[in-house]
Chains A and B, each alone.
Chain A
Amino acid sequence: MRMIENKVEKNWAGQRIVSPDYLLFEAPREKHFMTGSEAVKEAVKRASVDASVSYPITPQSEAAHLIGELWAEGYVGVYFRGENEFGVMSEVAGAAMAGARVITTTSGPGTLRAFENFPMWSGTRIPVQLVLMARGVNSPLSIQPDNLEVDFLLDTGCMIWYAENVQELFDMIIAGFAVAEQPDVHVPIITAVDGFFVSHTREAIYLPPDDIALPPYNPYKSPMPVIDAEIPPGRFLRDPFVMKSNYISYATHASWQWEVRAAIERSRPYAKHYLRGLTEEFGDKDSDIVFVACGTAASQAKEAVRMLEETEGIKAKVVKLKTIRPFPYEELVEATKNAKYIFIPEFNVVGWLEREVRKALYKKSNAEIIGTPRVAGGMTMPKEIIVKEVLEYIK
């Protein structure tokens, strides 16, 4: 809801409404020191969020409860705890279909329990934001940093962005709404970070004032009608073409699914603008040793680049991927054109990013692609390990 007071437009919390560009790039910022979970709270506080549903799961329960504090303070319209993760993801879908800006958080097994909802979100074209503080999936249960669940999410029809640190997480949450709500995009956005390393670690962060906020979501620009008495929730889900086995049904389903993927592709120019590029480079730009990484693996790779130069006199660079869906194909090909060795450090056992990079560079690079170092289950990735692996390969 917008209110006009002395020609200044305000949201229901009394914050002045400003453009995403102003909030992200122009507003003055002050230095703070906080965890990733606290950064989620600060981003939500400035995002005119209508509703949030939570279910506590390690490691992001603090973020969810901090959003609850925002509700108590009057910054979030509706907030409650779901029955379980499946309930949460269904409930936020209902709120979004009714025209609300919605955010929630989860990780690890909670993601899997809720899983059926993610392709439903994208198929219903709702711009829900999910902050995924990756924790991994295993039995026996793991509650340590690991990003295996991101692999599961790659083909759900949701955009996936990956923040490296607390600052990027804050900015990506704001930008995420601005991009996901574009009428020609309008698919869910998963903003991923490495759990514990980012969610629980205090870092310096620069924040704009908290008396300004994003414009409220306008559901009337949605590519699907908002639900009301005439259009019950998920009307198309119950209508007959879903259940029919005939060529009409097949053609509709095929077109529908291509359309969802096409919507992710349409996000590229918007994401380039609000993220200042889909990738970021660090180190010697002409180097033939390249690390391709996302999240905190990129942070560790940057430390390894420094160490390689200081101790071995070897130059290298990092290409950090900010978006996984859409995947930055062109940017990666350009950034690795001089590469002889491409290392992909990852925090999971399967090497999903290595697979993505191999696919993107197939027949476009002669570099040796090396899926290492790869750690999982809560292991850390010290720069010394990365340097050791590089030296073993290049000698």
Chain B
Amino acid sequence: MAKLGPAHYSPYPVAVYEGVLTPPKGKALMFTEIVDEEIAMREAAKAMLTRENATIFPGPQVLYAWNEEAKEKAKLIREMAEVLNAKIIPMYDYRPKYPKIDPEVEINPNHPNLTIWHNKIKACIFIGVHCHYANVALKIIRSETDCFTIAMCSQAGHEDAMITLRDQHVEEIEKFIEVAKEVKKELGIS
């Protein structure tokens, strides 16, 4: 079950082994429930606005100018961080960092828990991370931390995140920013 960690010393059982699959097209996954995208967006915004040290982890698909969509998304992510009062810690690439990662500067899918522990991050958004690496990282995070994970995926989503939003392109990210502004206003957060 994709519940808040820390779950176990090992990322088992992974969510699919408890019957949680990625959401169907047009829907989102919130813990174990399939919900409307807007409901999931509101809860995601609320988690980011109310939990400590909320952070956005942008991955290579939005950090480098592969295409026009990547550039657009990168601009929107900066706006999203401002609306959510969130930090940005990038996932530049997928190589494990030795002898030591600098957890203030970057996050890495092979040891994401170090960045979360060090920065005391209680809510995060994965965006622009290739699906396999997002899934590897999300399993480790759920296993070892109590961070509330949100995946904004341009493909089918990630069932090991607490909230997963699928098919997230420019239009959907713009919609999320608007939802986040509304939630922020409702919560009376400046």
- With A224-B133, A252-B96, A259-B14 as given contacts, are A182 and B156 in contact (CB-CB < 8 Å)? yes
Q: Which residues of B contact A256 (CB under 8 A)?
A: 136
Instruction: Compute how far the CA of A125 lies from the CA of B110 in the bound complex, rounded to whole angstroms.
Output: 16
Chief secondary structure at chain A's binding surface: helix
Q: Mark A250-289, 1 if CB is under 8 A from B, else 0.
A: 0110111011011001101100000000000000000000
Tell me if A265 and B17 are in contact (CB < 8 A).
Answer: yes
- With A224-B133, A251-B143, A254-B10 as given contacts, are A183 and B155 in contact (CB-CB < 8 Å)? yes
Instruction: Compute how far the CA of A184 lies from the CA of B167 in the bound complex, rounded to whole angstroms.
Output: 12
- With A259-B136, A262-B14 as given contacts, are A239 and B96 in contact (CB-CB < 8 Å)? yes
Q: Mark B100-140, 1 if CB is under 8 A from A, else 0.
A: 00000000001101100000000000000011110111011
A239, A251, A255, A269 pick with most chain B CB within 10 angstroms = A255
The answer to whether B58 has its CB under 8 Å from any CB of chain A is: no
Q: Pick the residue among B17, B135, B136 that contacts A252 (CB under 8 A).
A: B136
- With A183-B131, A223-B130 as given contacts, are A255 and B136 in contact (CB-CB < 8 Å)? yes
The answer to whether B22 has its CB under 8 Å from any CB of chain A is: yes
Q: Which residues of A contact B132 (CB under 8 A)?
A: 125, 186, 223-224, 259
Q: Pick the residue among A184, A225, A261 that contacts B60 (CB under 8 A).
A: A225
Q: Which residue of B lies closest to A244 (CB)?
A: B98
Instruction: Compute how far the CA of A240 lies from the CA of B110 in the bound complex, rounded to whole angstroms.
Output: 11
Mark out the residues of chain A between 349 and 384 whose CB falls within 8 Å of any chain B CB in the assembled complex: none
Tell me if B135 and A262 are in contact (CB < 8 A).
Answer: yes
The answer to whether A236 has its CB under 8 Å from any CB of chain B is: yes
The answer to whether A58 has its CB under 8 Å from any CB of chain B is: no
Tell me if A235 and B95 are in contact (CB < 8 A).
Answer: yes
Mark out the residues of chain A between 224 and 242 whose CB falls within 8 Å of any chain B CB in the assembled complex: 224-225, 235-236, 239-241
Tell me if B11 and A258 are in contact (CB < 8 A).
Answer: yes
The answer to whether B21 has its CB under 8 Å from any CB of chain A is: yes
Mark out the residues of chain B between 26 and 56 whose CB falls within 8 Å of any chain A CB in the assembled complex: none
Tell me if B21 and A241 are in contact (CB < 8 A).
Answer: no
Tell me if B140 and A258 are in contact (CB < 8 A).
Answer: no
Q: Pick the residue among A183, A184, A239, A265 that contacts B95 (CB under 8 A).
A: A239
Tell me if B144 and A241 are in contact (CB < 8 A).
Answer: no
Tell me if B12 and A254 are in contact (CB < 8 A).
Answer: yes
Q: Mark B127-164, 1 if CB is under 8 A from A, else 0.
A: 00011110111011001100000000001110110000
- Distance of A230 from chain B, by nearest CB (Å): 9
Q: How many residues belonging to A are interface residues under a CB distance threshold of 8 Å? A: 30
Tell me if B98 and A240 are in contact (CB < 8 A).
Answer: yes
Instruction: Compute how far the CA of A184 lies from the CA of B17 in the bound complex, rounded to whole angstroms.
Output: 15
Q: Pick the residue among A235, A248, A258, A266 that contacts B139 (CB under 8 A).
A: A258
Tell me if A222 and B130 are in contact (CB < 8 A).
Answer: yes
Instruction: Compute how far the CA of A272 lies from the CA of B173 in the bound complex, rounded to whole angstroms.
Output: 32
Tell me if A259 and B96 are in contact (CB < 8 A).
Answer: no
Tell me if B155 and A241 are in contact (CB < 8 A).
Answer: no
Q: Which residues of B contact A262 (CB under 8 A)?
A: 14-17, 135, 159-160
The answer to whether A29 has its CB under 8 Å from any CB of chain B is: no
Tell me if A184 and B98 are in contact (CB < 8 A).
Answer: no
Instruction: Compute how far the CA of A184 lies from the CA of B11 in the bound complex, rounded to whole angstroms.
Output: 18
Tell me if A221 and B155 are in contact (CB < 8 A).
Answer: yes
Tell me if B110 and A241 are in contact (CB < 8 A).
Answer: yes
Q: Which residue of B lies closest to A235 (CB)?
A: B95
Instruction: Compute how far the CA of A235 lies from the CA of B159 in the bound complex, rounded to whole angstroms.
Output: 26
Q: Which residues of B contact A258 (CB under 8 A)?
A: 11-12, 14, 139
Q: Which residue of A lies closest to B111 (CB)?
A: A248
Q: Which residues of B contact A269 (CB under 8 A)?
A: 21
Mark out the residues of chain A between 120 and 135 whose CB falls within 8 Å of any chain B CB in the assembled complex: 125
Q: Which residue of B lies closest to A184 (CB)?
A: B156
Instruction: Compute how far the CA of A256 lies from the CA of B139 in the bound complex, rounded to whole angstroms.
Output: 9
B132, B133, B137 pick with most chain A CB within 10 angstroms = B132
> Other than the known A255-B143, A259-B135, what 17 A-B pairs have Cβ atoms closer than 8 Å?
A184-B157, A223-B130, A223-B135, A235-B95, A236-B94, A239-B96, A240-B98, A251-B111, A252-B136, A255-B135, A255-B137, A258-B11, A261-B16, A262-B16, A262-B135, A262-B159, A268-B21
Nearest 10 A-B pairs (CB), nearest first?
Answer: A223-B131, A223-B132, A184-B156, A183-B155, A241-B96, A265-B16, A255-B139, A252-B110, A262-B16, A258-B14
Which residues of A line the B interface, CB within 8 A? Answer: 125, 182-184, 186, 221-225, 235-236, 239-241, 244, 248, 251-252, 254-256, 258-259, 261-262, 265-266, 268-269
- A and B contact pairs by CB, cutoff 8 A, 11 listed: A184-B157, A222-B130, A223-B135, A235-B95, A241-B98, A251-B10, A254-B10, A258-B11, A258-B12, A259-B136, A262-B15
